[in-house]
Structure formats: C-alpha cells, structure tokens
Amino acid sequence: MARTPNPLRPLAVAAACAVLLTAGCGHSSKKKTGATGRSTTSTSSSVDVTSTSVTLVPATTAPPSSGQTVKLGDKDSGKTVPAHPGDAIVLTLTDCFSCGYHWNITTAPDANVVAHRSTQDTQANNPPGQVGGSGTRVFTFQAVRAGTTHVVLGYFPPAKGAAAESTYELTFTVA
C-alpha cells in the first residue's frame, strides 16, 4: 500500500499564497531626466497592509480531502486499508479479460464510507492475432467519510452464470 501525494495540491497552495501576497501591493515608476540629459527611472514601491481573513466552511456533501492515492494490487487481499476522506483507492487486479475471465464486485462497500467510482479494463499487449494473455481490471474507489466498510470481488470464468473461482476481500477504515 503506497500513498501518493496529490501533485496539484502544492500548486493550489502556491497560487493562493501569491494572491494573498500581491493583494494591496502598489507600484509606481517615474521617469526623470538627470544632469546628463539622459532619461533615468526611479522606482518606488509601497505596500498597503490590509487585514485578510479566511473563513473555512464545512463541506455539506463530503469532508475535506487529503488528496492521497492508495494503490493496491493482487497481493493485498485480506488487508485492512486505512484511508482519509477524499483519498482515492486504486485496486489493480490481473485477469484474462480477453479469455473471458474477469473480476466483478460481489459485495459493494458502503457508499457512505467508500464509494466505487469506476472500473477500467486494460487488455494484454499481444502481437496481432494472438489471443489471451494477462490484462488488468482497475477498480477506483473514493473514501467519503469516517467509518469502516468491506468489499468482496469475485473472479468469474467466461461461462454464463458460473460461480466465482476465487475471491478478493478488503476492509476499508476511513478516519
């Protein structure tokens, strides 16, 4: 389980700081002619000190985001995954989708704690005409609010109505 920082967070903080620092800053330039007859530039700066207050308002639909990404894979089944509200949880499982085998969620997590956002398939990178090979199915979840929930996925063969050949389970603990 690796936590990856959100690359946009430092940029957003820097932009907000720049706006606050430049607010009220005055600048003036005046051209003067010196004793030599040449034009010179005199620069003066003044800064107006103003009081700025920021009011944080609690979100009504979801708690603040920590913006981290928790990455999980084939070997993480059975683990308890800690997360914070707003974290993305990306589960990448190997499958043989081109053979008809696939992972599906059989027991969904409580969407009030961890919501399922998307499922994406990546096919094996086979030479033209070759069938089969390992691909991946990527499940993306998002931690919504504090709580504990459980998810179960089944690995299904291509036969219609067949039972899962194996299962994969995780427990999410959001704090």
Per-residue pLDDT reduced to its tens digit, 68-108: 999 999 999 999 999 999 999 999 999 987 788 999 999 99
pLDDT at 6: 52
Per-residue pLDDT reduced to its tens digit, 27-84: 333 344 444 444 444 444 333 333 333 333 333 334 445 689 999 999 999 999 999 9
3-state secondary structure 29-72: EEEEECCCCCEEEEEEEEECCCCCCCCCCCCCCCCCCCCCEEEE
Confidence of residue 157 (pLDDT cuts 50, 70, 90): very high
Rounded to whole angstroms, the Cα distance separating 29 from 65 reads 44
pTM more than 0.85: no
CATH class for the region spanning 66-174:
mainly beta
Vertex 117, ends 115 and 119: CA angle to 5°?
Answer: 130
Whether pLDDT at 20 is above 70: no
Domain limits, the chain: 66-174
Whether pLDDT at 11 is above 70: no
The torsion angles phi and psi of 109, rounded to 5 degrees, stand at -70, 160
* Nearest partner of 143 among 56, 60, 67, judged by Cα: 67
pLDDT at 65: 52
Helix (H, G, I), strand (E, B) or coil at 173: strand
* Nearest partner of 85 among 103, 62, 107, 61, judged by Cα: 62
Rounded to whole angstroms, the Cα distance separating 72 from 1 reads 6
